[in-house]
Amino acid sequence: MGWIRLLIFVLFILSFSLSVNAKAAKIVEVEINGEINEGTVIHINHAFNIAEKENADAILVVLNTPGGLVMSTEKIVSQILNSKIPVITYVYPQGAFSASAGSFILISGNIAVMSNGTSVGAATPITSDYLGQRIENKTVNYIASYIRSIAEKRGRPIDVVEKFVTESLSLSAREAYERGVIDVLADSKDELFKKLNGWQVKLDGKNVTLHFDTIEVIRIKKPLQASIYEILSNPQVATILFLIGLYGLIFGFTSPGILPETIGAICLILSLVGLGFLSLNYVSIMLIIAGIIFLIAELLTPTYGILGAASVICVTLGAIMLFQEPLMPKEFYNTFPMLIAGISLGLAIVVTFLLIKVVQLKKVEKKVGGEAIIGEKGEVVSFENGKGFAKVRGEIWKIKSEEELEGGDEIVVVDREGLILHVKKPE
């Protein structure tokens, strides 16, 4: 009987040991879905912070993106390359793609994975001017060197990934796997974890083995801050806020009131937050400044709308060419100029017209009351010793004049002193 008890005890210890060894691996999952911007950066940082607090075994970055902002992409790539936790980048689900800026993020992972029916590549830099799309050699060279450095860091084929930039190469999942751009093909997350079970990755010169026998996935939701910055760093939104803020402040200074200045200041501040994450074209900034100068000149010195029209043209062109974001989706450069041109042109024309009318009304208002009667003509009723009475605009006024006048003489008002009019004979 004693040996039976001993056997039961040994079996209990073994089962307890196995249950400890079978502890589920923690995997933090975060999605990059849509255009990459500063909101994406905050979302990724949030996920990595949680992974560190939870002592996660791996971070899974699920990709489905057409591209995005250069500055934001660089921040995300840097976060992945310097991570102390293994990072798995995964283009998923089928039909998804990781184009342009997304290609940089995919190859930066310790393990790069794609599901069949997805694609990667097409990262040729594109910029835009008011005449259309164009490609700058210096930009291509810079972006190509950047993707080469990432590929070299992760041991991926430099000659292939460089063609993403220089030749706009695009690969299917199977082609990317066969050329060594990615490490694994997996059509589902379950298949992904099974294939990566026992996989080794190198972190800080040490080999780390992934144990995915049992897993616990922690899915990270997008924090509110990320959603706000996602909106503000959107080039379209940032441009529209900038234009509203700019014209709001000008309108407020021209026609003082709490509402225009308040709305203008808020919109301008919010736009500057978004513009801070974007690569700007300084020629465009100069055009916008010139547009503001032309508008102010139109308000101060009436030119029958000539300077006002020049202001509208400068601001519209400046808004269209404001950004230099070579890794944004190609569709961005097809829609952005038309959208911003329409909004900017409409807003500029309406606001410029209103401002001119406000200034004109103010000039008319100055003549209302005492000054309004100056220049009016009337008829002398009686006059003696430099003083008398005259009928002006149907009313009897006291008058003064250095000229000799008689009843019935026509006079014109040249000044007013309280209730006394200074008059003279018309020339």
Domains of the chain, residue spans: 22-224, 234-365, 371-424
What pLDDT is recorded for position 101?
A: 93
For each successive 10 residues of the chain (427 residues), what is the average pLDDT? 54 48 83 95 97 96 94 96 96 94 96 96 73 64 94 95 93 96 96 94 88 94 94 90 85 70 88 88 87 80 73 84 82 78 78 69 55 80 88 86 86 85 85
Q: How many angstroms separate the CA atoms of 113 and 257, rounded?
A: 58
- The CATH code belonging to domain 22-224 is 3.90.226.10
CATH fold match for the domains 22-224 and 371-424? no
pLDDT score, position 130: 44
Pick from 259, 380, 236: nearest CA to 320: 236
CA–CA separation, 68 vs 60, rounded Å?
20
Contact 58, 88 (CB under 8 A): yes
Mutual angle of helices 101-108 and 70-81, in 10-degree steps: 0
Please, how many CA atoms are within 13 Å of residue 360, restricted to the half-sphere of its CB? Answer: 11
Topology, domain 371-424: OB fold (Dihydrolipoamide Acetyltransferase, E2P) (2.40.50)
Strands 184-185 and 111-114: parallel
Dihedral over alpha carbons 336, 337, 342, 348 (to 10 degrees):
110
Position 264 scores a pLDDT of 86
CA nearest neighbour of 111 among 192, 212, 2, 23:
192
| Residue found by looking up tokens 């190509």 in the block | 144
d(CA 412, CA 407): 14
Q: Are 326 and 166 in contact (CB under 8 A)?
A: no
- The CB density around residue 314, as the number of other CB atoms within 10 Å, is 22
Tell whether omega for the bond before 337 is within 30 degrees of 0, i.e. cis.
Answer: no
Q: How far apart are CA 411 and CA 390, in angstroms?
A: 8
Q: For residues 264 and 258, what is the distance between their CA atoms, to the nearest angstrom?
A: 10
Q: Are 130 and 320 in contact (CB under 8 A)?
A: yes
Question: Which amino acid is present at 326?
Answer: P
* Cβ atoms of residues 372 and 384 within 8 Å: no
- Concatenating the DSSP letter of every residue in 101-146 gives HHHHHHHHSSEEEE-TT-EEE-----EEETTEEE--HHHHHHHHHH
The reported pLDDT for the residue numbered 153 is 94
Q: What is the pTM of this model?
A: 0.76
**Which residues are catalytic, by number?**
100, 138
The DSSP bridge partners found for residue 390 are 380, 397
